């Protein structure tokens, strides 16, 4: 099974989880979860805005028994949508729980710093973020959210949260790959004992065609996807590759039986140019 990291509240989180962004219909979610459980994945990352929480919840109910597993064997992440930031945070989080049909969610994140319709710079956002966080703290106290965290926060958002929270975030989930090494955010996380987690480790699939990634893959007889995922987990950074294809789901899981040389790690990191394939959370609402 993939190894885990300990979060700052003692909870263990697998270093590898299946990303589910863009997995849409119930059949697509079911077949991806089936392939993932068969391959050894024990973590699944969803969000209210993905509109697939109900499909994921149902797929797990149907498939866990097939693999002799129960709820406690899997780690489920979901996220509060930006339309629910602020006054609607309680409603939003409880909606995630009911869509997933779970008694508790292992990790629940504020999906991004803005509120839908308000630019990130809007004066009302700090209050909305604080209210969302207080709601997550309350649900954590009730045992409904085992760990709470944030996604797409900039260093400034992290500082704002760290200076006002009662319970510090367990996780910061952001875009991370060799072209976006996120040195600033990683040091904020290190200082504050927040687990830095990667999404889009494959650069939305586009980094798979990078000549250096291909060269490293050929030299260690692995695939470009495995090299990119290994580059992250070898630094202790948990990854969430998304695939709907059973062979690729399995391929993305085989990253714990080889090591990249120090030189290859450094060559890959030298691709860093601050490039975002997704979007810039400091600008988008």
Catalytically active residues, by annotation: 50
Which sign does the torsion angle of CA 239, 189, 235, 170 carry? negative
Please report how close the Cβ of residue 32 comes to ligand A2P at its closest, in angstroms. Answer: 8
- In the numeric block, the tokens 């692995």 are attached to 222
Q: Which residues bind ligand A2P (CB under 6 A)?
A: 19, 200-205, 208, 223, 225, 241-245, 248, 251-252
> Within its chain, how far is the Cα of 170 from the centroid?
12
202/271 with CB nearer ligand A2P: 202
Please report how close the Cβ of residue 118 comes to ligand A2P at its closest, in angstroms. Answer: 26
Residue 111 annotated as binding site: yes
161/253 with CB nearer ligand A2P: 253
Please report how close the Cβ of residue 36 comes to ligand A2P at its closest, in angstroms. Answer: 12
Q: Which two tokens stand for residue 55?
A: 């499909």
Distances (CA, A) of 167 to 85, 107, 141, 178, 194: 18, 14, 10, 31, 11
List all residues 6 or more positions away from 230 whose beta carbon is below 8 Å from its beta carbon: 222, 255, 258, 259, 260
Q: How many residues would you count in the chain?
A: 285
Q: Which two tokens stand for residue 274?
A: 């601050």
158/249 with CB nearer ligand A2P: 249
List all residues 6 or more positions away from 7 whose beta carbon is below 8 Å from its beta carbon: 13, 147, 170, 171, 195
CA dist 14 and 240 (Å) reads 10
41/133 with CB nearer ligand A2P: 41
Please report how close the Cβ of residue 122 comes to ligand A2P at its closest, in angstroms. Answer: 28
Q: Which residues are annotated as a binding site for substrate?
A: 111
């Amino acid at each position: 099974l993939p190894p885990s990291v300990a979060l700052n509240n003692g909870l263990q989180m697998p270093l590898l989880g299946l990303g589910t962004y863009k997995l849409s219909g119930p059949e697509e979610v079911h077949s991806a979860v089936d392939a993932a459980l068969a391959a050894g994945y024990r973590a699944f990352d969803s969000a209210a805005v993905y509109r697939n929480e109900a499909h994921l919840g149902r797929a797990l109910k149907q498939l866990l028994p097939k693999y002799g597993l129960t709820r406690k064997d899997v780690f489920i992440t979901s996220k509060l949508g930006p339309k629910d930031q602020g006054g609607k945070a309680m409603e939003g989080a409880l909606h995630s729980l009911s869509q997933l049909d779970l008694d508790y969610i292992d990790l629940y994140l504020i999906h991004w710093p803005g509120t839908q319709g308000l630019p990130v710079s809007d004066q009302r956002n700090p209050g909305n973020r604080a209210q969302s966080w207080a709601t997550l703290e309350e649900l954590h106290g009730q045992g409904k959210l085992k760990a709470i965290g944030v996604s797409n926060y900039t260093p400034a958002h992290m500082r704002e949260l760290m200076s006002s929270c009662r319970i510090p975030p367990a996780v910061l989930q952001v875009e991370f790959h060799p072209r976006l090494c996120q040195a600033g955010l990683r040091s904020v996380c290190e200082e504050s004992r927040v687990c830095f987690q990667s999404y889009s480790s494959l650069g939305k699939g586009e980094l798979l065609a990078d000549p250096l990634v291909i060269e490293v893959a050929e030299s260690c007889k692995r695939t470009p996807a495995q090299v990119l995922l290994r580059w992250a987990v070898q630094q202790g950074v948990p990854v969430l590759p998304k695939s709907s294809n059973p062979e690729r789901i399995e391929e993305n899981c085989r990253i714990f039986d080889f090591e990249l040389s120090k030189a290859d790690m450094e060559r890959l990191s030298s691709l860093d140019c601050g490039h975002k394939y997704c979007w810039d959370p400091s600008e988008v609402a």
